Structure 1
Amino acid sequence: MGCDGGTIPKRDELIKVKKRPEQKDKASELSFKWCHCAITQQRLQVPIVACMLGRLYSKDSVIEALLDRTKMPEHAAHIKTLKDIKDLTLTVNSSFKGGAETGDGYIDRQTAQYICPTTGIEMNGKFKFCFVWKCGCVVSERALKEVKDDICHKCQTTYSEADIVILNPEKDDLDLMTVRMDARQARLKAEKKAKKSAKTSTVTSSDQTNGATNSSNGVTGSTVEATNGEGPSNNDLKPKKDEGSGSSKRKTAKILPSGSKEIEDPAFKKSKSSYSVAKDDNASKVYKSLFTSSDKAKTKTSAHWITYNPFYN
């Protein structure tokens, strides 16, 4: 049973000592954080997105959490709409071998699925990685420091320092990302408010111009009535009823100078009931023959080719 001279006991076996708390493996913790969604804790699925604080998510899980707010954890409560996340443009590592872990072989967890397109550093958590909020291109922090330029290394989009978001920040970097997130949201609200005020101002200005034109039309109408008071009588200005049809539709009054006769418009001449094509001097014989009222159609003994008359058959 032990202590019989064949074994050498250790100190913690003979004396009660205070147990040390279990320590997490930093390497496994980093690999889990960079390869799994921050909402569902499952492996990241394409398309991969990130929030303004730099946390990684699968886009499908974000959409499900937005539809059902009970699935949204506290650390992702700042995500209110899809505008609060950005689709990431990642560079795939050609040496990465994906697949299911069977447990019967060595698994290299330090080989990342994505790398920096400029320096080739693997995105496994050992090095800082950033992305530009305007375009979503992911590069390493070392690449941003080596190539000091305000243009994205991948898509050539111009950006400022406030547009840079650090992925999976910690401590001071997390505080910096929180400050930048608040400033970005305040700027977006101010721009939205400015657009709304500009839109309302354009609508009011257009209404004012329409009111001015209507008032000017009213002034011109009154001046026309005042000037026409000297010419024709008031009976000529009143709208007349259509005597032929008997309807009560009003016609527009025509103002003519004194002593002049109204010239009949030939376009309105054909609309009268007394008009006949057969009596029209301007119509040709071929055009007149199309109608049954022509002389040629009256002398025919057969049916007309347009209007069928059963009396001829």
Structure 2
Amino acid sequence: MRSKPQNFQIFIQSADLQIPTRALILQNPNPNTNFSVHHLKSDLVSSTRISPKSLFFSLNGKLLVDSTPLFQNPQIGPLSTLTVHMRHNGGGGDGGATGAESRDCYLNMYAVKKPDKVDPNEMRLSKWLNCSLSNEPLKHPVVIDKLGNLFNKEALVEALLKKNLPKEFRYIKGLKDMIAVELAEVPGIRERGAMKFQCPITGLEFNGNYKFFTIKSCGHVLSAKALKEVKSSACLVCHKEFTESDKIVINGNEEEVEALRGKIEGEAKLKDNNKKSKKVKNGGANGEAGRLTGTKHGIEGNAIDHNNIGSSKRFKAADMAPANATKEVYASIFTSSKKKDFKETYSCRSLPLGRN
């Protein structure tokens, strides 16, 4: 006797496929055939281009493998709701999920805000158009230090007075380390409220795309192109004479900054050496310090001969006593009394007896 076909109704839902929950009547055409989840997936995607391998089913949160039978299965009964999921790539050593991560791991990963990417052009413009200390737009009066950094003079002086200069600018000690610069403005043009500058000779914009120099002797700012094309030992603006060492590159690269730093250190050493030589020169013609001369306390002539300081005996006032003078009395003028002459009393200490 032939068995009747088995059939019952189940529900299918999917959030990944964005389809509403719908009822599906299943009918096993052949009771002897094991109608499984694999057959259900094939029937579901038969009219679409979706591959059955990219889908998987779950029931009450539990995965249903393709070989799971739908008929005569105690887990799947009539009116059961099966959920269809899209299978996403990952979990195979390609950086995807492995299932071992905890939920807190993902929450912490997204809780930390990633820093915004900085536009290199914005950084370059900020370095050339803003004060290196306050980051405000450059405005006159503008000064430059000996390493080529630009500052608003007001901001730098205020930081020096309050003694709160950042560590990278601690080499600036005062006004002597600043050089006033003359930046040529582009007439009638402002960018984001800030002034724009240019080379007064070539018209090249002062924006970091071109190399610029400050002439230390006069403070004018000229492009490297202008100094190269017009060969002159005088400033092209004010015609004041300058040397190659008077040129300071503005916002130079690491090598140029290191060269300026070495130049500053060399100037400092030379200055110290000049101070030492001047000090020795003022001390005497042959390196001698000033000598005691005169007739004070009855001493005539030079009291100490520094040329023979290693071989001469220690100076004694008694040896220089005038004629008809007691040597001990004369020596007491220059030396204190001996310890044996002192005695402590209840009212004073170290007061020599016999003195009023």
With normalisation by structure 1, the TM-score equals 0.51
Cα distance in 2 between the residues matched to 1:92 and 1:199: 50
Deviation per CA, 1:131-175: give whole Å up to 9, x if none: 111111100011111122221111222222111101111221111
Cα distance, 1:2–1:52 mapped onto 2, change above 3 Å: farther
User: In structure 2, what residue type is equivalent to 1:91?
Assistant: A
How far does residue 66 in structure 1 lie from its aligned partner after superposition? 1.1
1:83 and 2:96 correspond:
no
Picking from 135, 151, 154, the partner of 1:41 is: 135
Whether the aligned pair in 2 keeps the contact of 1:54 and 1:167 (CA below 8 Å) is yes
Q: State the partner residue of 1:64.
A: 158
Quote the residue 2:262 is aligned against: 179
Query: How far has the Cα of 1:96 moved from its partner?
Result: 1.3
Change (3 A) 1:84 1:193: farther
Q: Secondary structure at the match of 2:240?
A: coil
**Distance of aligned partners of 1:122 and 1:134 in 2 relative to their CA distance in 1, 3 Å threshold:** same
Relative to structure 1, is the Cα distance of residues 145 and 189 closer, same or farther in structure 2, using a 3 angstrom cutoff? farther
If each structure's strand is expressed as a fraction of its own residues, which one has the higher value? 2
Whether the 8 Å contact between 1:129 and 1:138 is mirrored in structure 2 is yes
Native 8 Å contact 1:133 1:164 kept in 2: yes
Corresponding position: 1:168 with 2:227: no
Distance 1:21 1:115, change over 3 A: same
Residue type of the alignment partner of 1:37? C
Instruction: Tell me how far apart the structure 2 counterparts of residues 54 and 152 of structure 1 sit (CA, whole Å).
Output: 18
- Letter paired with 2:242: Y
- How many pairs align? 188
Give the secondary structure class of the aligned counterpart of 1:135.
coil
Deviation of 1:75 (Å): 1.6
- 1:159-308 matched pairs, under 5 angstroms: 159-189=242-272
The equivalent residue for 1:133 is 216
Does the CA-based 8 Å contact 1:162-1:180 persist in structure 2?
no
Matched, 1:92 2:105: no
TM-score (norm 2): 0.45
Residue deviations 1:59-89 (CA, integer Å, cap 9, x gap):
11111111111x2011211100100010001
Greater Rg over alpha carbons, structure = 2
Match of residue 73 from structure 1:
166
Secondary structure of the 1:40 match is: coil
CA distance in 2 between counterparts of 1:94 and 1:195 reads 51
Distance change >3 Å, CA 188–CA 49, structure 1 → 2: farther
Q: Give the root-mean-square deviation of aligned CA atoms.
A: 3.7
Higher helix share: 1
Counterpart residue number, 1:149: 232
Distance (Å, rounded) in 1 between the aligned partners of 2:266 and 2:178:
16
Alpha carbons of structure 1 residues 116 and 191: separation in structure 2 relative to 1, 3 Å = farther
Q: Shift of residue 37 of structure 1? A: 1.2
Distance 1:173 1:126 in 2: 16
Give aligned-pair identity as a percent. 28
Q: Deviations over 1:202-253 (max 9, x none)?
A: xxxxxxxxx9xxxxxxxxxxxxxxxxxxxxxxxxxxxxxxxxxxxxxxxxxx
Closer/same/farther in 2, CA of residues 134 and 185 from structure 1, 3 Å limit:
farther
CA distance in 2, matches of 1:182, 1:25: 35
Structure 1, unaligned runs of 5 or more: 7-12, 101-108, 202-210, 212-313
